[in-house]
């Protein structure tokens, strides 16, 4: 009986040691992966910054203005003017297909109100 306990304990120690060993290496691998991902993120961010700077450079108002002037015959863009503001009722509605023939507006308005 005592030897059985000894054997089981020894096996348990071996098993736990093996488990700890594997966990240690898995942790280290995960850390290395996280590091690699962080450095990927850093590279991506750096690239993003570069692209952001380039985007800002290409969209600088000075350049856009020059482009608008160069392509005036195609685009016809002018500075925004106060008179370009409008009210919503100045916009014409798209004409919907009408299936109600209105002959007398007064009749239509009173339709459905028969006593």
Partner 1 sequence: MIRTPLRPLARILDARRKGENPDAIERENIRLRIEEQRDRTRRRAEGRLLVLAGLFLAGFTVIGGQMAVLAQSEPAEPRSEASSARILAQRADITDRKGRVLATNFDTFSLYAQPPQMIDPEGAAIKLAAIFPDLDAERLRRDFTGTRKFLWLRRTLSPEQKQAVHDIGEPGLLFGPREMRLYPNGRLAAHVLGGAGFGNEGVSAAEVVGVAGIEKALDARLRDPARAHEPLRLSLDLSVQAALEKVLAGGMSIMNARGAAGILMEARTGEIVAIASLPDFDPNTRPAPPVEGRPDDSPLFNRAVQGVYELGSTAKTFTIAQALDRGQVTPDTIINTQSPMTWGKFRIRDYRNYGRELSVAQVLVKSSNVGTARIAIETGAEQQRAFLGALGLLDPVPLEITEAGGSQPLLPSNWSELSTMTISYGHGLAISPLHLAAAYATVVGGGRKVTPTLLHDPARAPGPRVISEATSATMRALLRQVVADGTASLAEVPGYAVGGKTGTADKPAPGGGYHKDKVIATFAGMFPADDPKYVIVVTLDEPVETSGDEPRRTAGWTAVPVAAEIIRRTAPLLGLRPAIEQAGAAAIRRVSN
Alpha carbon of 96 to those of 8, 35, 70, 87: distances in Å? 87, 61, 41, 21
Six token digits for residue 26: 């898995």
d(CA 32, CA 24) in angstroms, rounded, equals 12
Q: Which one, 9 or 46, has the nearer CB to partner 1? A: 46
Which member of 42, 67, 75, 109 binds partner 1 (CB under 8 A)? 42
Binders in 22-41 for partner 1, by CB under 8 A = 30-31, 34-35, 38, 41
Per rule CB under 8 A, is residue 105 in the interface with partner 1? Answer: yes
Per rule CB under 8 A, is residue 77 in the interface with partner 1? Answer: no
d(CA 2, CA 8) in angstroms, rounded, equals 10
Q: Taking contact as CB under 8 A, which single stretch among the options 8-16, 69-77, 85-93, 94-102 is the one that binds partner 1?
A: 85-93
């Amino acid at each position: 009986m005592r030897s059985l306990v000894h054997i089981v304990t020894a096996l348990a120690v071996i098993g736990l040691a093996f488990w700890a060993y594997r966990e240690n290496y898995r942790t280290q691998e995960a850390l290395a992966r996280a590091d690699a991902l962080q450095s990927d993120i850093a590279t991506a961010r750096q690239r993003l910054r570069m692209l952001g700077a380039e985007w800002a450079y290409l969209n600088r108002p000075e350049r856009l203005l020059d482009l608008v002037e160069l392509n005036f015959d195609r685009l016809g863009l002018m500075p925004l003017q106060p008179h370009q503001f409008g009210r919503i009722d100045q916009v014409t509605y798209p004409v919907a297909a009408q299936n109600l023939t209105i002959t007398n507006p007064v009749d239509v308005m009173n339709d459905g109100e028969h006593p």
